[in-house]
Amino acid sequence: ILGKFRPIVNQCCHQCTPDSLVSRKNLGQNSSLGFRNLLSINETQTRYRGWLVRRVCFALFVSGRKVYGSPVSNRLERLCQSNRVREAFTAEHEASEGGDGQGQLRLLFVGWAMLKMFASVFYSIEVNLNHLSALHRVSQEGSPLVYVYMRQSIMDCALIPLVLFCHNLRVPYTVYPLQINILQKVGVVLLPPSAQTEQDAEMDSLYSPVMTSLVRELLHEGQAISVGVSPESGQGGQWLAHIIQLIKEGSVPDVRVVPVGISYDCVPNTNVQVGLRSVLQWMMSFLWRKPKECVRIHFVLPFSLKEMCESRRWRVDEWLPLQDLLLPVILKNRTESVFGKRRMSWLLPSSHYASELEEPGHPDRNLSVAIIHHLIFSATSCKAVMATSVVSSLLLYRHRKGVSVSGLCRDVDWLIDEILLRNRDVGFGGTLANVVHYSLSLLGPHLIIAAAPSREDPLIVPRPSFAATLHLFVQAQAVRHTFVVEAVGACAVSAMLCEVAFSGVKEDMEFNVVLCQSNLTERALQLCHLLPPGFVPPCQSSQNFALDAVDSLVRCGILIMEEIPRDVPICDFWKKDGILTWTTTDDPYHSDSDCEEQDLRSYKISQPSRCPEMLFFLCSMLAGHLRALCWTTMGLDHIDTPLASMCTELKIRKRLCCVLTLLCLCSLCSIQVLSEERHEEGVLLGVSPLFQLSENRQKLHRFISQYLFN
């Protein structure tokens, strides 16, 4: 399959950056380049041959890499003389920087050490050579590059510089909250010694102007920067806001942004205390272990950040708080949703020293949040779907009670086709049997594999434990993102079926009911406001997303259109009150459903005689996030408030994973279920007066649980 069709996953957004897309149209599409395993280094990649070369080929390969030195040596002096830093701090500082030759030697040694370390952790690190050839051509144009990726582990900040170093590209300055001073010598920007997290650092009035000036100096020198962003906590977003601010001020002419998708077979467990000793101990644990996991890295085509800022095409709906979008619907004060986009203000954490920019509706803040959101979506969309993600999603969403190996192979073959049809690449190859065997070997600790003597086909069942479910949930994230449009539509159908079932309809209806398109779209629109960041691009309206969610179920064969007799002839369809209406097809998110009268369209489930498996498979994909919201809502009855936000988070984490905890708290704060009070000791969370009433909490629980398929 992959030999005939390889999806192109590195295109930049055609709506927000059309000029960049046109100028890069022919880049990175040379299908003959293929992939390269970064850890597969032999004598052919050096200038030498022989048995001795084969034993030291790693060192010889690294010694032949190109290291880009800094063109200036007085960066710290210029940093202290900048207006931003002078206004915040007037003391004089003196410092000396190492020579260029010493820095190159240090970087070569670190590159060799990282290759050896990753060779003991991963079986392969594969990169698409088409993407790297495009980066080579763009880097020659002169504009500095900014790499943006989603934080998954401490491995992320090392993988991107290593890939670029091995392919003779400029190694970026990496922003990551580590406290390992030796890494500062090789371009890692550290937090202040007094700060444990980035949020602690932002509370320092000197930190922001110094970091903004540092970013300005690095970009003026032509240096590259690598920034990791967390969609749950918003950490890392402040760095992107600094770069956007410099673009708007004109301090930096332009930068080229490169979203990076990093896919792991199994995300490394890097939950270690940040520090040199703990990181070394964690690295030593891999030395006596045979590596199995693979990593796939994709680079999106670089696009102009200035073009995205000036085009303003990233905003198609009015940005509204979640409480304005959903609260009247939840409390039954309004039946129809307000058209708008959810404001995800936590993607740009606030700090006490900022002034009017911290207001939620400030245009500059909205611009930064929208671009951060868009970059999260781009980095997530270009990630390859790994074999463990395919198998995990099938075991978690389709075969929770178990499946035979032969049945799993059939479903894996089907799901791979569906993924490729949605223009998502996969990070594996080989025969179907080898792919399934490889995935089961990695997921083995979280599965029960039973083989009876009377049958040759073993049975595979996920372990009935929270740890196993959580691991499969994390691994299946790439598949959830691939099918999110269909999943939203399926949950909307499920909500309407539940409403019909609870309205007293006879039990033998067998799903043979007619569903109105306007009601389906309304349910899908309300659900999309609850999705985490990264699933819906900000440049697509929520209404179009909801319409596409319903249309996608027709394409999947789950829904079929129900013909309803019309009172007017079909030739008069376009006439309304004597006015001929037109619709444009230039909108990239244009849906065919925009061209018809919504009230005259309705659907029926295509398989009324039995429960359609595909419908319930899609419904289950969003069940984890929705169930976490339900658990958090019910848990408010057992938490004494107000509590510090950290204490509330720890209490809820007893039942939820860390990622879902942060997303649930952000959503409940956005709906004004939880209220925030800022004090000197931190942020205190309390239940708002409106939801201190048990009746309103029950309404919120019913609203969320209607989308859960039981």
For 472-507, write each residue's pLDDT tens digit. Answer: 999 999 999 999 999 999 999 989 888 877 665 544
Distance, in Å, from the CA atom of 507 to the CA atom of 505, rounded to the nearest integer, reads 6
What pLDDT sits at residue 386?
Answer: 95
CA triple 131-136-139, angle to 5 deg: 120
259 close to 375: Cβ distance less than 8 angstroms: yes
User: Which residues of the chain have a pLDDT value below 70?
Assistant: 1-5, 24-32, 51-52, 54, 70-73, 87-103, 178-182, 269-289, 314-317, 333-338, 350-361, 502-512, 563-600, 607-611, 638-663, 676-684, 710
Residue with structure tokens 């309103």? 696
Interhelix angle for 694-705 vs 322-330, to 10°? 100
Structure tokens at 276: 């040199």
Quick: pLDDT tens for 550-567. 999 998 888 888 766 655
Return left, alpha or beta for 472; rule: phi > 0 is left, psi -120 to 50 is alpha, else beta: alpha
147 close to 172: Cβ distance less than 8 angstroms: yes
Count of C-beta atoms within a 10 Å radius of residue 304: 20
CA quadruple 533, 535, 538, 543: dihedral positive or negative?
negative
Instruction: For 231, list phi and psi in degrees, rounded to 5.
Output: -70, -15
Q: Give the start-end residues of each E strand in 123-170.
A: 124-128, 145-150
Q: How big is the chain, counted in residues?
A: 710
What pLDDT sits at residue 482?
Answer: 95
Contacts of 705 (CB under 8 A, 6+ apart): 626, 630
Paired residues of 450 in beta bridges: 459
Distance, in Å, from the CA atom of 651 to the CA atom of 639, rounded to the nearest integer, reads 8
390 close to 479: Cβ distance less than 8 angstroms: yes
What pLDDT sits at residue 587?
Answer: 47
Residue-wise burial string across 660-696, b where 16 or more C-beta atoms lie within 10 A, e elsewhere: bbbbbbbbbbbbbbbbeeeeeeeebbbbbeebeeeeb
H or E stretch at 282: helix 276-284
Structure tokens at 180: 């390992």
Distance, in Å, from the CA atom of 432 to the CA atom of 430, rounded to the nearest integer, reads 7
Contacts of 403 (CB under 8 A, 6+ apart): 394, 395, 411, 459, 460
Paired residues of 260 in beta bridges: 149, 299
347 close to 533: Cβ distance less than 8 angstroms: yes
Contacts of 163 (CB under 8 A, 6+ apart): 38, 125, 127, 132, 297
What pLDDT sits at residue 665?
Answer: 74
Torsion of CA 368, 374, 379, 385, to 10 degrees: 150
Helices (H), 24-128: 51-55, 57-63, 75-80, 83-88, 100-121
DSSP 648-668: HHHHHHTTS-HHHHHHHHHHH
708 close to 627: Cβ distance less than 8 angstroms: yes
The three-state secondary structure class of 682 is strand
Structure tokens at 269: 């467990």
